[in-house]
């Protein structure tokens, strides 16, 4: 391929790239990530030297080879900046995250894979393999041709492409292509950012089988940009957002101890994962319900464990400049993060304690099933009470984007504060309120948060396990 190719596979037990060889599955946590952070000044002008620096890597040389890493692809979910597929990798069901980034944003793309692969803990989603490639028109056409060949062998006839001269359009014979076509005319493929990062349209719903070229089209792959492909463990119970939408914690406010225990233990899972990240110098930067995934567990009375994921905006606490760049980019690229972000993060200076604020905002959202500050985001004559952030209507889910500056300004100057939700025990609210202190240095750390949650389980639910 005429650009950069980088691939790392857990099976080999070695992360290989220029200036880095970490043996064992997790030897020297974050050493590889720290080494790659030195490439933070990459630009399109230095791409040649960067590629040369990785010439010794165990690399994926072509996009078509990345296509062959996983099979049986189905759409799992689509966020503001990435596409997540379910597929099969080495005979195991996995999640495959695809993200495309313009050439000028290459450093951000480069770091997510090695960072996520450097982390391993019970409450952190594990990354098995990652690959990075620069996209060329030749490679994109090669992937399309490979998908067409598979379709031809399965159906006994050539697969007709919608437009043989362009890129980024769904094939006529694909499931998404057929559903996205109305009366023989092309229906616009919907960008979730158009409705403030809400749920995908019907023609992009989870469970649809996809070809790799379809997936690339949906994620906005284009020549000259970079594609990252991260193969992760598959969390079969979806995200925390999905769980809240099913009313998982609705009875907690009514005094149901089972629901309250599930709520507290899920928060403890998240705090445990975040404690691990912070102990290794990692600031998450996007701790929201959609980035908490749930995996089935027979050994847990809830039937699941919660795991932290979504490291696209994460960075090392020791790299203030890198964190500031990630913070400024994340809020603008994904507006749904804004109601969960701490004042200092909204001002471009995130620290570890910023994740603690986001944790409390997320806990508030879990209890109320509403996005923080929904009365500001959805100013209506009758009030915004009862409007869920997890409903099917994306406009009701996150409100109108034009009100985001009001939230940002109010959070930053301290005039907009979250209030104690109805039915929440005073001791629980005391913990969350301490996490929402405007001065970051006054917030507890996640070790303290975990201990407090255990005490709350004992006092509120009579659980001492």
User: Is residue 175 domain-shared with residue 52, that is, in the same domain?
Assistant: yes
User: Is residue 306 domain-shared with residue 266, that is, in the same domain?
Assistant: yes
Residues composing the chain: 465
User: Is residue 370 domain-shared with residue 448, that is, in the same domain?
Assistant: yes
The CATH number of the domain holding residue 441 is 1.10.510.10
User: Is residue 270 domain-shared with residue 290, that is, in the same domain?
Assistant: yes
Question: Looking at the 3D structure of the chain, how many domains does it have?
Answer: 2
User: Is residue 196 domain-shared with residue 343, that is, in the same domain?
Assistant: no
Q: Give the model's pLDDT for residue 421.
A: 93
User: Is residue 30 domain-shared with residue 159, that is, in the same domain?
Assistant: yes
User: Is residue 244 domain-shared with residue 209, that is, in the same domain?
Assistant: no
User: Is residue 197 domain-shared with residue 276, that is, in the same domain?
Assistant: no
What's the per-residue H, E or C state across the chain? CCCCEEEEEHHHCEEEECCEEEECCCCCCCHHHHHHHCCCCCCHHHHHHHHHHCCCCCCCCCHHHHHCCCEEEEEEEECCCCEEEEEEECCEEEEEEEEEECHHHHHHHHHHHHHHHCCCECCECCEEEEEEEECCHHHHHHHHHHHHHHHHHHHCCCCCCCCCCCCCCCCCCCHHHHHCEECCEECCCCCHHHHCCCCCCHHHCCCCECCHHHHHHHCCCCCCCEEEEEEEECCCCCEHHHHHHCCCCCCHHHCCHHHHHHHHHHHHHHHHHHHHHHHCCEECCCCCHHHEEEEECCCCCCCEEEEECCCCCCEECCCHHHHHHHHHHHHHHCHHHHHHCCHHHHCCCCCHHHHHHHHHHHHHHHHHCCCCCHHHHCCCCCCCCCCCCCCCCHHHHHCCHHHHHHHHHHHHHCCCCCCCCCCCCHHHHHHHHHHCCCCHHHCCCHHHHHHHHHHHHHHHHCCCC
Q: Is the pTM of this model over 0.85?
A: no
Q: Give the model's pLDDT for residue 380.
A: 58
CA angle 401, 404, 408 (to 5 degrees): 165
- Domain span at residue 30 reads 1-234
Domain boundary among 202, 234, 266: 234
Domain boundary among 234, 257, 277: 234
User: Is residue 131 domain-shared with residue 226, that is, in the same domain?
Assistant: yes
Tens-of-pLDDT digits for all 465 residues of the chain?
444 445 544 443 333 332 222 333 344 444 544 444 433 333 333 333 333 323 223 334 478 889 999 999 999 988 766 899 999 999 999 999 998 887 766 565 567 888 899 999 999 999 999 998 889 999 999 999 999 888 888 766 554 444 433 444 444 443 333 333 333 333 333 333 333 233 334 344 567 888 999 999 998 888 988 889 999 999 999 999 988 888 788 888 888 899 999 999 999 999 999 999 999 999 999 999 999 999 999 999 999 999 999 887 777 766 666 666 665 555 555 788 899 999 999 998 899 999 999 999 999 999 998 889 887 776 654 444 444 444 433 333 444 566 788 888 999 999 999 999 999 999 999 999 999 999 999 999 999 999 999 999 999 998 876
User: Is residue 299 domain-shared with residue 406, that is, in the same domain?
Assistant: yes
User: Is residue 98 domain-shared with residue 214, that is, in the same domain?
Assistant: yes
User: Is residue 372 domain-shared with residue 432, that is, in the same domain?
Assistant: yes
Q: Give the model's pLDDT for residue 293.
A: 96
Domain boundary among 188, 204, 234: 234
């Amino acid at each position: 391929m005429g650009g950069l190719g980088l691939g790392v596979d857990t099976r080999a037990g070695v992360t290989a790239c220029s200036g880095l060889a970490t043996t064992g599955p997790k030897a020297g946590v974050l050493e590889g990530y720290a080494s790659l952070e030195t490439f933070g000044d990459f630009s399109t002008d230095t791409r040649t030297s960067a590629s040369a620096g990785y010439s010794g890597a165990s690399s994926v040389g072509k996009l078509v080879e990345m296509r062959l890493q996983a099979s049986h692809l189905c759409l799992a979910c689509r966020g503001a900046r990435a596409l997540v597929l379910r597929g099969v990798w080495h005979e195991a069901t996995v999640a495959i995250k695809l993200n495309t980034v313009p050439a000028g944003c290459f450093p951000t793309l480069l770091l997510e894979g090695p960072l996520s692969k450097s982390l391993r803990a019970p409450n952190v989603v594990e990354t098995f393999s990652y690959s990075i490639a620069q996209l060329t028109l030749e490679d994109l056409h090669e992937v399309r041709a490979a998908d067409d060949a598979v379709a031809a062998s399965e159906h006994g006839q050539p697969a007709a492409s919608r437009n043989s001269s362009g890129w980024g359009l769904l094939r006529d014979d694909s499931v998404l292509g057929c559903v996205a076509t109305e009366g023989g005319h092309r229906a616009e493929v919907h960008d979730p950012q158009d409705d403030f990062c809400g749920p995908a349209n019907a023609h992009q719903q989870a469970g649809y089988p996809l070809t790799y070229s379809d997936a690339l089209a949906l994620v906005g792959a284009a020549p000259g940009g970079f594609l990252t492909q991260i193969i992760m463990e598959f969390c079969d119970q979806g995200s925390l957002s999905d769980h809240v939408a099913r009313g998982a914690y609705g009875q907690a406010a009514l005094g149901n101890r089972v629901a309250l225990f599930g709520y507290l233990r899920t928060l403890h899972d998240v705090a445990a994962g975040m404690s691990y990240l912070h102990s290794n110098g990692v600031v998450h930067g996007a701790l929201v319900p959609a980035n908490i995934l749930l995996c089935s567990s027979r050994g847990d009375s809830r039937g699941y464990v919660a795991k932290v994921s979504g490291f696209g905006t994460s960075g090392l606490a020791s790299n203030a400049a890198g964190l500031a760049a990630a913070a400024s980019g994340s809020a603008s690229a994904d507006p749904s993060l804004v109601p969960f972000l701490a004042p200092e993060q909204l001002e471009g200076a995130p620290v570890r304690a910023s994740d603690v604020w986001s944790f409390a905002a997320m806990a508030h959202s879990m209890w109320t099933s509403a996005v923080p500050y929904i009365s500001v985001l959805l100013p209506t004559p009758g009030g915004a009470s009862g409007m869920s952030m997890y409903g099917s209507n994306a406009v009701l889910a996150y409100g109108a984007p034009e009100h985001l500056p009001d939230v940002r300004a109010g959070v930053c100057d301290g005039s907009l504060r979250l209030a104690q939700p109805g039915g929440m025990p005073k001791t629980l609210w005391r913990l969350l309120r301490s996490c929402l202190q405007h001065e970051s240095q006054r917030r507890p750390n996640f070790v303290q948060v975990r201990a407090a949650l255990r005490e709350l389980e004992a006092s509120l639910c009579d659980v001492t396990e």
